[in-house]
Amino acid sequence: MSGIVVTRDGDAVHVRFDNPAAHNALTGTMWLALRDAARAVADDPSVRVVTFRGTGGKAFISGTDITKFADYAEGAQGVAYEREIDECMGAIDALPCTTIAVVEGWAVGGGLNISSACDFRVATPDARFGSPIGRTIGNCLSAASLARIGGAVGVAVARRMVLLGEIVAAEELRASGFLLKVVERDALDAEVAALCARAAENAPLTTRVTKETLRRMTFDGLPAIEPLIEQVYGSADFRRGVADFLAKTKRVPAWTGQ
């Protein structure tokens, strides 16, 4: 079982992250299944809208399963990992139809990245967003991930999320425009259904060309930062952060900058 559940309702496809025991943290298998699902949707011109949602109501996605990081011995492994994530995220970016993230609870790490890739985000009042990697495992994001998140939440908020490790509440992100709507749980399904119906009515070529134009504006010409990524993933700080996180110490590691 991949942990990615795909269903169809008319011209809408619904993708569900189904790993509730780990608050829908994405395993490597789930990342690849998500990539393949997105590619399949992109090849089907009859799909007009795609929703993404977590199972269980407590989390959209709580992050990525980092257990394999304990085996990383050199920075090149981190470069390969970020390339794989970029490949998976790129499949979501390239979807030619309208995409909607339905967020209940936590959207952290990969959850922030995936929700940022969507055209619209609808959330419950308890939704929380962030990427506190500088306070947990001490890794870094690819240029594409930073461009995607910064473009969606705004650079100032992205800095707070990554450089200060802040978790930002739904109401603030609604006011800033990142969230289209904040909706009580008992009204969420109806709100999403109405949004899907409206999106599906849009001229598909208008949607396709607009999305591709925005994608190119966001990602074309990004700098090559692989040496920087290698420096971070090859550091003693990264190994210390991973060890502390997996040991569930619940403290900010004593970073040395090396």
**pLDDT, averaged across the chain:** 97
Within a domain: 193: no
201: in domain:
no
Is residue 65, in this structure, part of any structural domain at all? yes
* Domain carrying residue 141: 4-185
Q: Does some domain include residue 27?
A: yes
In a domain, 248, yes or no: no
**Residues paired with 99 in a beta bridge:** 50
Q: Rounded to whole angstroms, how far apart are CA atoms 74 and 35? A: 26
Q: Which amino acid is located at 160 in the chain?
A: R
| Token digits of residue 168 | 């930002």
231: in domain: no
Q: What pLDDT digit, counting tens, does each position of 31-58 carry?
A: 999 999 999 999 999 999 999 999 999 9
Distance in angstroms (rounded) separating the CA atoms of residues 60 and 179 = 14
Determine the average pLDDT of the residues in 104-114.
98
Look at residue 90 and tell me if it is in a domain. yes
Res 257: pLDDT: 96
Written as six digits, the tokens of 202 are 């849009």
CATH code at position 65: 3.90.226.10
Q: Domain for residue 217, yes or no? A: no
User: How many domains is the chain partitioned into structurally?
Assistant: 1
